[in-house]
Structure 1
Amino acid sequence: MKSPCATFVTGRLKLNCSKRRVLLWDEPMMNKRCFEALVRSLNDVMKTRANYGNDRPFGGKVVVLGGDFRQILPVISKGSRADIVGSAVTSSYLWKYCKVMKMTVNMRLRSASSSASAAEIREFAEWILKVGDGTVDTIDEDDTTIEIPSDLLIGQGPDPLLELVNFAYPDLVPNLESDWYFQERAILAPTLECVEQVNNYMLSKLPGVERELILKEGVPIMLLRNIDQAGGLCDGTRLRVTHLTQYIIVATVLSGIRLGKTEYIPRITLTPSDSGLPFKFSRRQFPVTLCFAMTINKSQGQSLSHVGLYLPRPVFTHGQLYVALSRVKSRKGPKVLIVDEQGVVSTSTRNVVYKEVFENV
C-alpha cells in the first residue's frame, strides 16, 4: 500500500472534515484488539460497496488516533510488563499502516497566565517530557528513582497531608457551594487505598460529618459506571452534590460535555465482574464515590489548575508519574507529597517507563 490508511497524532488536532470523512479516536491507550475489532467491522461494512476497502485497514477509511504513549498503557489484570506492552496498538499488525505525526507543544502550559515567563514554561515542559520518556536523571542503579524539584514538593512538617490538602483545596468549607471551585482541583494518588485515605481525611475536616456518613451536600463525587454515555455521564465523570435523598443524588457536572448541568443519579444494581469469589453477588447502591482524591489513571484527559500528588507508595506502571505531573497548566500547579515506608517525607520517588513501547513511535 502506497499511502497510510490511518494517522496517529501525538497531541491534539483539528481537522477540516468538509471534504473528507474521517474517524477520530481520542485517547486510544487501550487494548490493540479494540482497534482490530473495528477494522474487521469496517471491512465487513465496506463489502457492500463493490468490495471497496476489503483489503485495506479500516475499510479504506481515514482514522486519526490522538494520544500520547507516555501515558498509561492498557490495563492487563495480573499482566507482566511484556503483556502490557504487547497489548498496545504499537504491537498490532495495524501499526505498519500508520503514519506518526508528533506534536511537541504542551497546550496545557500554553494556556497558562501570561505572567508566567516563557523560559519557565519551556523548562517545565521539557522536564515533564523527560519524565515521560524516562530520560530524566536518576539516583539509583536501576535507573528508576528520580529527584523531584524542591519547588514542587511538600516538605516535612507537623501535618504534611494537611498542607497538601490546603494547597489543592484552599478555603474548602466556604467554597462547598461553588461549582467552579472543584472543576480544576484534585488530589491524585496511585492506588484506591491511597485515594480512600485522602477522602476519609477530607471528610474528617468537614464540619458536621460523622465517621459513618459517606457523603455531604457540596462535596465532589465521581461516577463509577456508564449511566448515559451519549449524554456525557460516563465512568470517571466528576460532579458536585447539591442535594441528597434516599433514592436520588442531585449533582452538578464538573467536567465533560455537560459541564454545569444538573443530573439525577439513581441507585442501581451493581454486580462485580471479577470479585475473586466462586459466585456473583449484587448490591443496589449509588454508582458514585467521594472524589476529593482520585487515582492517577482516572485523571487522564483532564486539565487542572491545582494538583496535589499524594505518594505514600510509588507509582507502579508505565506513565503514571508523567500523567499526574502533566495535568497542570503551570509550574505552580502541582505539589507532590512523597512519604517513605517509615512515614518520613522524601524528595525522591520511582518513575516507571517501558521504553520499548517507544521503539516504533
Structure 2
Amino acid sequence: MPSSLRRLFATILVFCEPSDVRGLWDKHFDAMSEDYRRNDPSNIVAEQKVLIDIRNMLQSMGKDIKSFPLPDIDEEFDNATGVEREIFEESVIEPNKEDINLADSLNTDQKAAYEKIMSVVHGDEGGVFFVDGPGGTGKTFLYRALLATIRGQKKIAVATATSGVAASIMPGGRTAHSRFKIPLSIDDGGYCTFTKQSGTAKLLQSASLIIWDEASMTKRQAVEALDNSMRDIMSRPDLPFGGKTVVFGGDFRQVLPVVRKGSRAQIIDASLRRSYLWDCMTHLKLKRNMRAHSDPWFAEYLLRIGDGKEKANADGDIRLPDEICVPCTGKKGSDLDKLIDNVFPSLGANMSDPNYITSRAILSTRNDCVDRVNLKMINRFQGQEMLYRSFDCAVDDPHNYYPPDFLNTLTPTGLPPHLLKLKINCPIILLRNIDPANGLCNGTRLVVRGFQRNVIDAEIVLGQHAGKRIFLPRIPLCPSDDEMFPFQFKRKQFPVRLSFAMTVNKAQGQTIPNAGIYFPEPVFSHGQLYVALSRSTARKNVKILVIPDGDNKKTCSDESKKKRRHVNTYTKNIVWKEILTS
C-alpha cells in the first residue's frame, strides 16, 4: 500500500543514510502517492499530502523534513496546522469500545485504585502513585480503564512503558524513553532532552494523566530526569513532576534495571525504590484473587518463588513441579528437541497461523542459548528461505586491523546476527525503536510475510497495531555499549532477530500462553526464574528443561533414574529480599 511505502521512505531517510534523497523521491513518488491521486488527480495536491505524511512520520522519529532536500510544504494543505504534532496524535486517540465500560468491571482493589487516581485527576491537584502487584492482578486492565475514561472526557492521557512490548498493550502506548526523550546514558541529576518550547513539553503540560508501566525495571535516574524536566516546564519546582498526576506500575519480584557489570548493590541502587521520589508516591497494592484464578496452586507457588519463600534444599535450590519438567537424559540435543516438541506441537501443520506462532516461545537466560534454540527452530520451519548477510566495518580503521571476516563472527548484545536466516511466516522481534508512534518499538513482535533483496515485508502480530503491514530496510547499527570493544563497530543489517526463543529479560511484560523454559545453566539475577515461570498463567502450559551442572549430569543420566517417570528437578531461585522489603 502507498502508506506503507511512505513509511519505508521515511525510515530510509532517517536510518539508511541515502546518498541521493531527491532521486529516490522522484523515482518512487508515483507509487507513494497512488491513493491520493485516485481521489484527486491534481499532482500538486497529491505531492503536498505525501510530503505532509512523510513530515509527520519523520517528526515521530525525531527528525525534521527540512533537513532533507525535498519539495517545500504548503501549510494550507495540513489539517493539523497550529496544533503541536504530539498533542494532535494524542487527542485523536479514541477509546476502544470494549474499554469504555471497563471501570464497571474492576475488582475491589482495582476499583479503589481507580477512584483514588480519578479523584486526584478531577481535583487537578496532582499526585504520584505506584501500582504494585504481581503478574495477573490486572494492572494493565486498570490502566486501560483510566485511559478510556480520561480520553472519553476529551482530555489527554499519556501512556508509556519501559519496554516496547508492554507499551504496545496499552492504547496509544509508547516507550518511556521515546516519549520523554530520555538519554540512553544518564547520571544522577540528569534531564530529558526535550526543550521547554518543544511539542513534547506542550503535550506534558496539557496532559491530565501520565502512566508509566514496568517502572520497576527502569533506572531511577530516568524517572528522576522526567521529574526534573517536568518541574521545569511546569514552573513548579517544589512539586514532584511539577504537580501533574503520574501513575507508575510494576512488580519488584521481576528483573530489575540492567547495570552493565553491576554488583548486587549497584543494581539495587539503580532501582526506583532507591529514588528520592519513592516516599512521595501513594502506594496502591493489587492482590491476586486465588479463588478466581484458573490454577490457584500454581499462582501461590509463583508468589512463593517471587518472594523467595519457596523451600530450598541444602544447596539453596528449589524443587520444580514434576508436571512442568521435561526429564533430562543427559543428551543435550535430544532433550532440547523434546522441549521444542512440547512447546511447538504439530509445527508443520500450523506454520501459517500467526496466533499459533506468537502464542508460544522458549525463554532462556543468555543470548547464545537463545540463538541455539532459534537456529534449531528455523531449520525445522518449512517454506521459502532467505539468507541475509550483514555489512560490517570498524569505524576509523584505515589500516584494516579489524577485517570484515573477523567482524562477521561478532554478535554484540542488541544487534542482529551477521547471517540472518528467515522464512515466510517465521516470527521475528524488532531490535530498535524505528517508529514508536506506529508500533515499531524495540521488542515489537512481527511475522515475516515476504522478502526482497533489500527489504523485509512483515506484519505486526501483537498489541494495538496488530495486523499492520510494514517494510523494514537494512539500517546501520552500533552496539549500545561503547565499552564492549576497543573499536567502534558498525553493522548494516535488518534490525530483527528470530523470536521462537528470547531472553527472560526480553520477555518481561509479555503474556506467553504456551511458554517453554530452557536452562542449560541456572539463572544469574534477581527475579529471572519468577519472570520465566509467570509468563503463562497455568502450569499445564509451562514446560521447563533444566540441565544439571557438573556432578549432577551423571545422576540425571543414570539408567535407573531414566526408567522413573519423574526425576526431581531443582534449580536456583535468586531473590534479593532487600528490594522487596525496603
TM over 0.5: yes
Equivalent in the alignment of 2:228: 40
CA–CA distance in structure 2, aligned partners of residues 90 and 298 of structure 1: 22
How far is the alpha carbon of 1:226 from its aligned partner?
0.9
Does 299-308 or 5-14 show the bigger shift?
5-14
2:304 counterpart of 1:130: yes
CA–CA distance in structure 2, aligned partners of residues 239 and 102 of structure 1: 34
One-letter identity of the residue aligned with 1:178: D
Please point out which of 41, 45, 65 is paired with 2:248: 65
Equivalent in the alignment of 2:42: none
SS at match of 1:252: strand
1:288-299 alignment, distance < 5 Å? 288-299=496-507
CA–CA distance in structure 2, aligned partners of residues 279 and 126 of structure 1: 49
CA–CA distance in structure 2, aligned partners of residues 43 and 120 of structure 1: 45
One-letter identity of the residue aligned with 1:152: I
Equivalent in the alignment of 2:470: 263
How far is the alpha carbon of 1:164 from its aligned partner?
0.9
1:318-337 alignment, distance < 5 Å? 318-337=526-545
Equivalent in the alignment of 1:50: none
SS at match of 2:376: helix
CA–CA distance in structure 1, aligned partners of residues 376 and 255 of structure 2: 27
Does 75-84 or 57-66 show the bigger shift?
57-66
CA–CA distance in structure 1, aligned partners of residues 247 and 208 of structure 2: 11
Equivalent in the alignment of 2:569: 347
Equivalent in the alignment of 2:322: 150
Relative distance call for 1:259 and 1:140 in structure 2 (3 A) is farther
1:1-361 alignment, distance < 5 Å? 5-11=127-133, 12=139, 13=142, 14-15=145-146, 16-17=149-150, 18=153, 21-28=208-215, 29-47=217-235, 53-105=236-288, 121-141=295-315, 143=316, 145-157=317-329, 159-207=334-382, 214-274=421-481, 276-342=484-550, 344=556, 347-360=569-582
Relative distance call for 1:59 and 1:210 in structure 2 (3 A) is closer
Contact 1:5 1:56 in 2 (8 A): no
Does 84-93 or 268-277 show the bigger shift?
268-277
Contact 1:187 1:294 in 2 (8 A): yes
CA–CA distance in structure 2, aligned partners of residues 147 and 160 of structure 1: 19
SS at match of 2:246: strand
SS at match of 1:215: strand
CA–CA distance in structure 2, aligned partners of residues 54 and 119 of structure 1: 45
Contact 2:343 2:515 in 1 (8 A): yes
More helix by share: 2
CA–CA distance in structure 1, aligned partners of residues 224 and 247 of structure 2: 15
One-letter identity of the residue aligned with 2:500: F
SS at match of 1:282: strand
Contact 1:315 1:352 in 2 (8 A): yes
Rg comparison, structure with higher value:
2
One-letter identity of the residue aligned with 2:370: V
CA–CA distance in structure 2, aligned partners of residues 210 and 95 of structure 1: 50
Relative distance call for 1:4 and 1:62 in structure 2 (3 A) is closer
Per-residue CA deviation, residues 183-209 of structure 1 (Å, 9 max, x unaligned), is: 211100011011011111223323576
Contact 1:267 1:286 in 2 (8 A): yes
Contact 2:381 2:423 in 1 (8 A): no
SS at match of 2:268: helix
CA–CA distance in structure 1, aligned partners of residues 286 and 320 of structure 2: 26
One-letter identity of the residue aligned with 1:156: C
How far is the alpha carbon of 1:81 from its aligned partner?
0.1
Does 312-321 or 17-26 show the bigger shift?
17-26
How far is the alpha carbon of 1:156 from its aligned partner?
3.2
CA–CA distance in structure 2, aligned partners of residues 119 and 305 of structure 1: 15
How far is the alpha carbon of 1:352 from its aligned partner?
0.8
How far is the alpha carbon of 1:153 from its aligned partner?
0.5
Query: How many residues are matched?
Result: 342
One-letter identity of the residue aligned with 2:276: Y
How far is the alpha carbon of 1:278 from its aligned partner?
2.7
CA–CA distance in structure 2, aligned partners of residues 274 and 358 of structure 1: 29
CA–CA distance in structure 1, aligned partners of residues 540 and 427 of structure 2: 23
One-letter identity of the residue aligned with 1:133: D
Does 233-242 or 201-210 show the bigger shift?
201-210
Q: Percent identity?
A: 43
Contact 1:7 1:101 in 2 (8 A): yes
How far is the alpha carbon of 1:279 from its aligned partner?
2.3
One-letter identity of the residue aligned with 1:230: A
Contact 2:256 2:526 in 1 (8 A): yes
Does 79-88 or 239-248 show the bigger shift?
239-248
One-letter identity of the residue aligned with 2:451: L
More strand by share: 1
How far is the alpha carbon of 1:146 from its aligned partner?
0.7
How far is the alpha carbon of 1:41 from its aligned partner?
0.7
